[in-house]
Amino acid sequence: MVTKQKIKEALKRVKDPELNKSIIDLQMVKDIHIADGQVRLTVALTTLRCPMKQKIVADVKQAIEEIPGVSGAEVELTAMSREELNRLFPKHPLMGIKKVKRFIAVASGKGGVGKTTVAINVALALSREGLKVGLLDADVYGPSIPVMMGISQRPESEHGMVVPLEKFDLKIMSFGFFLDENNPLIWRGHLVGRAIKQFLDDVMWGDLDYLVVDLPPGTGDPSITIAQCIPSALLIVVTTPQEVALADVKKAINMFKNMKIAILGIVENMSYFQCAHSEEKIAIFGQGGGEKLARQMDIPLLGAIPIDMELRRGGDKGKPLMIDVPDSETGKVFKEIARRVSSMKHGVHP
């Protein structure tokens, strides 16, 4: 008679080609059903993207069909659960954010103030200091890091974990890598929470000094959910010097304070325009707004970034200013911001 025991014995000879161990020892075989010599079972793979899955199915079928009394075998594939993976790779050193020392979350009151530009160039400036830096694009409304960093490929998966892409010495993940331009996803509250947890826990971030997170703009649900998921995040708030922008920023800062998130400081973007033909700094969006806000809210002003065509151009062509012209005036401002950030061990606590 065909028994589960006989099936397991037969399958002991079948190995996972990648891990080179028996699929029985790896506890990958589940739900064995036997009815009139017909065998049905499930094999849980580390990832369904496993390129060897057809071979595993063929090996399993062959091993079972060689058992006397078996008339046929049906094999179903699933992916291992997180718990099963953890059991298999209990001390995976690169998994998730266990080895990330600090988190910087970049926020803004409203969109279009240069939040992503600041996140990218501050991350690159930190990396130039010899620090290991990751960049997570968590802007569910407008994930623009792939375009601004010139990345078009999708990350690959290994042992059920996503391997971040690497460019300009940064490890990079973006919601944008998983979006279909023609079918935009609408992220509802609880889905955002789950997605961001995956971007933190299921990615091989490895050993990092800083993970810089580009948050969605504003004080909506996704920003709150995401900020709450990031362990002891240090916040950088980006604003332009305009009164209207400052009002939104105040609201955002108060919200983050209420959430007990420590604030590193404010970055004023598009502060002035330096005309190439004179020394004069032209305050297109008004003057001193960031400074006033910093004073009012008792938060450091980390830096003031000018309106610079190179910044816009860098974003459009996928080669950031800190890569193209790091020694420019604007580059120096980013380096100074990075220097301040890396010297601050704690944020201002509300």
Residue that is written with structure tokens 């010097």 in the block: 241
Binders of Mg ion among residues 111 to 170 (CB under 5 A) are: 115-116, 144
Helix (H), strand (E) at residue 238: strand 233-239
- Return the DSSP state at 346: S
User: Which range binds ligand ADP by CB under 6 A, 51-59, 83-91, 189-197, 302-310?
Assistant: 302-310
Residue of minimal CB distance from Mg ion? 116
Closer of 48 and 247 to ligand ADP (Cβ):
247
Hey, what long-range contacts does 53-58 have (CB within 8 A, 24 or more apart)? 53/77, 55/17, 56/14, 56/16, 56/17, 56/23
User: Which range binds ligand ADP by CB under 6 A, 66-74, 86-94, 108-116, 292-300?
Assistant: 108-116
Helix (H), strand (E) at residue 307: strand 301-307
Is 269 a binder of ligand ADP (CB under 6 A)? Answer: yes
Is 189 a binder of ligand ADP (CB under 6 A)? Answer: no
Helix (H), strand (E) at residue 89: none
Q: Minimum distance between the CB of residue 337 and ligand ADP, rounded to whole angstroms?
A: 13
User: Other C-beta atoms within 10 Å of 112: how many?
Assistant: 12
Q: What mask of x and - would describe binding to ligand ADP in positions 196 to 225, judged by CB under 6 A?
A: ---------------------x--------
Q: Minimum distance between the CB of residue 326 and ligand ADP, rounded to whole angstroms?
A: 15
Is 240 a binder of ligand ADP (CB under 6 A)? Answer: no
Burial category of 83 from C-beta neighbours within 10 Å (exposed 0-12, middle 13-18, buried 19 and up): exposed
> Among Mg ion, ligand ADP, none, what binds residue 174 when CB lies within 5 to 8 Å by partner kind?
none
Residue that is written with structure tokens 């620090």 in the block: 131
Closer of 292 and 319 to ligand ADP (Cβ):
319
Q: What mask of x and - would describe binding to Mg ion in positions 76 to 115, judged by CB under 5 A?
A: ---------------------------------------x
Q: Minimum distance between the CB of residue 13 and ligand ADP, rounded to whole angstroms?
A: 55
Residue that is written with structure tokens 């200091």 in the block: 129
Angle between helices 243-258 and 221-229 (to 10 degrees): 50
Is 270 a binder of ligand ADP (CB under 6 A)? Answer: yes
Residue 300 in tokens = 């450091």
Q: Could you say which of 305, 322, 323, 337 contacts ligand ADP (CB under 6 A)?
A: 305
Could you tell me which residues are beta bridge partners of residue 100? 208
Helix (H), strand (E) at residue 34: strand 29-35
Task: Give the count of residues interacting with ligand ADP (CB under 6 A).
Answer: 18
Is 144 a binder of ligand ADP (CB under 6 A)? Answer: yes
Is 307 a binder of ligand ADP (CB under 6 A)? Answer: yes
Q: Could you say which of 312, 329, 332, 336 contacts ligand ADP (CB under 6 A)?
A: 312
Give the residue among 320, 319, 318 at the shortest CA–CA distance from 334. 320
How far does Cα 202 stand from its chain's mean position? 10
- Return the DSSP state at 44: E
Is 271 a binder of Mg ion (CB under 5 A)? Answer: no
Give the SS3 label for residue 314: helix
Q: Which residues bind Mg ion (CB under 5 A)?
A: 115-116, 144
